[in-house]
Amino acid sequence: MLITPNRRDLNTIVILNPKGGCGKTTLATNIASFYAKQGPMPALMDCDPQGSSMRWLDKREAAQPPIHGIAAYKKSMQATRSWQLRVPNETKNLIVDSPASLTHDDLRALTGDATSILVPVLPSSIDIHAASRAVADLLLVAKVDRRDNKLAVVANRTRQNTKSFDKLMRFLSSLGIPIIAVMRDSQNFVHASEEGVGIVDMPGYKVQKDLDELQKVIDWLDSWPNRRRDLHDTGVSNKPAGNVTVLHNPLINSG
């Protein structure tokens, strides 16, 4: 598994969680559509042999703002591979969708050049357990340093005020990793994925709540130069980055 060469003006956003079905592709395609609408043209790299992101891109109509697709999972000769993986010069955001079940080598290759890493997590016990393994692997195997401020969690398909939501928040707070958004369980995401669009392309009155949460993800992503500068200016920083809403578990905070 190979990611593009590091380019200093490129936010390389890797979305990963080896647990299947937690919302990696949904998050990747919605972030890509958001940046496409905003411009300049983002790139969406699909590292998953299932090719879900590329299938979504195929459904996209020509009238939609363009997204540069990179089918990184396709086997090809080394010479053409470097060409295939090239990111357009204008692109400022590269979104990388990753497969379920990653080897440790895959994990290192995927995260080596990442400037932002998003882990979507579902609120079931099985998913929370899998997510804790995934985060532990990111910290211990891929050597992602939490103080680099490049790792964040997006709670997905979550109903607030449920026991499982509390459990999820408790787990993440205990790791000190920011939960930057809580996406609700919403058919808007299902419809968007079927139509090759993002929620950003759907009528505002239908998607406003979902869009508010996506905006929090975008705000955190866009803060990446500040997150990096924090690191360079002060050696290390434990502060949450810039203009970011970090959700706290009220149970933990009050205790």
Ligand X SMILES: Nc1ncnc2c1ncn2[C@@H]1O[C@H](COP(=O)(O)OP(=O)(O)OP(=O)(O)O)[C@@H](O)[C@H]1O
Q: Contact between 68 and ligand X (CB under 6 A)?
A: no
Calpha distance 193→8 (Å, rounded)? 31
Q: Contact between 100 and ligand X (CB under 6 A)?
A: yes
- Contact residues toward Mg ion (CB under 5 A) are 24-25, 52
Q: Contact between 60 and ligand X (CB under 6 A)?
A: no
Residue of the chain from 3, 22, 57, 168 that contacts ligand X (CB under 6 A): 22
Structure-token pair, residue 250: 């009220």
Stated as kind and residue range, the H or E segment containing 108 is: helix 104-111
Q: Contact between 227 and ligand X (CB under 6 A)?
A: no
What are the backbone angles phi and psi of residue 14, rounded to the nearest 5°?
A: -100, 130
Q: Contact between 20 and ligand X (CB under 6 A)?
A: yes
Q: Whose Cβ is closer to ligand X: residue 5's or residue 20's? A: 20
Residue 56 β-bridge partners: none
Residue 189: helix, strand or coil by DSSP? helix
> Which of these, 231, 196, 12, 5, lies nearest to 118 by C-alpha position?
12
Q: Which of residues 146-205 bind ligand X (CB under 6 A)?
A: 156-157, 183, 185-186, 189-190, 193
Structure-token pair, residue 10: 């490129």
For residues 48 and 98, the answer to whether their CB atoms sit within 8 Å is: yes
Q: Whose Cβ is closer to ligand X: residue 43's or residue 119's? A: 119
Q: Whose Cβ is closer to Mg ion: residue 30's or residue 223's? A: 30
Query: What is the nearest approach in angstroms of ligand X to the Cβ of residue 226?
Result: 28
Q: Which residues of the chain form contacts with ligand X (CB under 6 A)? A: 20-26, 48, 50, 52, 100, 156-157, 183, 185-186, 189-190, 193
